[in-house]
Amino acid sequence: MQGSQASPIIVALDFPSDQPALALAGQLNPEKCRLKVGKELFTSSGPALVRKLQQRGFEVFLDLKFHDIPNTAAGAVAAAADLGVWMVNVHASGGEKMMTACRERLERFGTDKPLLIAVTVLTSMTEHDLSGIGISVSAEEHVSRLATLTKNCGLDGVVCSAQEAPKLKVEQGTAFQLITPGIRPASADKGDQQRIMTPAAALKAGSDYLVIGRPITQAADPLAALEAIYAEVVGL
């Protein structure tokens, strides 16, 4: 494998400030992973931190899971594109008009536009949690429904759990990108994640990218943790 283009690993930098995030990034190799900046780190450290990571050679997935009226969400993804991020996400439950507006707003960026993906059912949720918000079908069925909507709106892929990947690859085709958090090496704590899978099993199931946070960021030796996962998935 050469370059992060070939690595499916996205490390989630869930830190409260830029210092620990930059310290960890300093230990990681941009040829072996991309980085995800989410709500906690972006709220504390903003676009300046994203630029610093990009200057260090990392491609950045800006994970702010936009969910708003179409005009507001479209403006937000355009701001992410201005920042030069590699990938940005919205919630599929924002619906067809919101997702279509986002995709259309990115057209002006031509080949520089980021990948636009939609979150289906959070990997921390079970069927019990879904029934609590009025959804009575299985997680797999709801993910499928939202993935179909997302693809029909012309987006590049979805965030889902690796457990749903085999079904989605059959239903949506191989070009539709599956970004899967809830990745746990066999020895790692599950934490608040519910629909989980090991890195190798997730890739075999059809995941295109593995989003991995605490198993790397909270490891005693984050670089060794990344290398171990990289070795597990390389060549699969």
Ligand X SMILES: O=C(O)c1cc(=O)[nH]c(=O)n1[C@@H]1O[C@H](COP(=O)(O)O)[C@@H](O)[C@H]1O
Which residues contribute to the site for ligand X (CB under 6 A)? 12, 14, 38, 63, 65, 89, 119, 122-123, 159, 181-182, 191, 193, 211-215
CA nearest to 187, candidates 223, 232, 126? 232
Considering the complex, what minimum distance in angstroms separates the CB of residue 110 from ligand X?
25
Give the Cα separation of 16 and 21 in Å (integer).
Answer: 8
Catalytic residue (choose from 18, 32, 52, 68): 68
Q: Identify which of residues 4 and 89 has a Cβ nearer to ligand X in the complex.
A: 89
Q: Check if 156 is active-site.
A: no
Please report how close the Cβ of residue 65 comes to ligand X at its closest, in angstroms.
Answer: 6
63 is in an annotated binding site: yes
For 180, the token pair is 């899967």
Burial of residue 28 (CB within 10 Å: 0-12, 13-18, 19+) is buried
- Cβ(117)–Cβ(94) under 8 Å? no
What whole-number distance in Å separates Cα of residue 159 and Cα of residue 107?
21
The reply to whether 198 sits in an annotated binding site is no
Catalytic residue check, 63: yes
Task: Check 18, 39, 52, 65 and give the catalytic one.
Answer: 65
d(CA 33, CA 30): 5
Active-site annotation holder among 18, 32, 63, 113: 63
Residue 193 marked in a binding site? yes
Based on the residue annotation, tell me whether 65 is a catalytic residue of this protein.
yes
| Nearest distance from C-beta of residue 233 to ligand X, angstroms | 15
DSSP code, position 157: E
CB 210 within 8 A of CB 180: yes
Nearer to ligand X, 110 or 181 (CB): 181
**Residues that constitute the known binding site for substrate:** 14, 36, 63-72, 123, 184, 193, 213-214
Please list the active-site residues: 63, 65, 68
